[in-house]
Amino acid sequence: MTCCNRMTVWFSCVLISGIFLFSCSKEPVKADPKSLVISDIEYSIRQTHENSYVLDAKGKIKNTGKLDVKSLVVTGYCKSCVLEFTSHKWFTSDCEKTENQKKIISYLSAGAESEFSFEEVAFYFTSEKVPPEKIPEKIEIQAVSFDTVQSP
């Protein structure tokens, strides 16, 4: 075998070995959404105009899992609200949440807790200038998206 042939065989073996080695890499580990625990939720009714009100929310979220998370989005949904502009009833829309209707937590370490607050979970309009008597019945606060931080 000539020197050039030996180099070609050697390079081919290294290349094939590298392909086998890197093709066996592990799947990235994902954090369990159930490890994000929401607590201490408080709702408040805020008057926005003479005849309109909104429902705001605040609380805490704790990462009880073993993995850090980033880009965590927390928002609220009113499951008992109607989906149309209606007087004397709590209503909401099915449009994408605006920046003030969600909280983005950039990083939450495993075991860490963070506070959140956002506005406009639901809306209320009245023609008699009378505020709503109570908050809607079925409100859900959820961690709707996040990325898992991969350890090196």
Domain residue ranges of the chain, discontinuous segments joined by +: 33-148
Q: Which residues of 125-152 are buried (b: 16+ CB within 10 A; e: fewer)?
A: beeeeeebeebbeebebebeebeeeeee
Q: Distance of alpha carbon 78 from its chain centroid, rounded? A: 16
CATH assignment of 33-148? 2.60.40
What is the tens place of the pLDDT at every residue in 11-58? 565 556 555 555 554 555 566 667 899 999 999 999 999 999 999 999
What mean pLDDT is predicted for residues 76-86? 88
Residue 129 pLDDT class (50, 70, 90 cuts):
confident
Q: Which pLDDT score, from 0 to 100, does residue 29 have?
A: 57
Q: What is the pTM of this model?
A: 0.74
Rounded Cα distance, 4 and 1, in Å: 8
Half-sphere exposure for 1 (CA within 13 Å, toward CB) = 8
- Which residue's entry shows tokens 């350890």? 151
User: How many alpha carbons fall within 13 Å on the CB side of residue 22?
Assistant: 6
- Which whole-number Å values give the CA distances from 29 to 26, 64, 67, 73, 129, in the listed order? 8, 16, 9, 19, 53
Provide the pLDDT for residue 6: 64
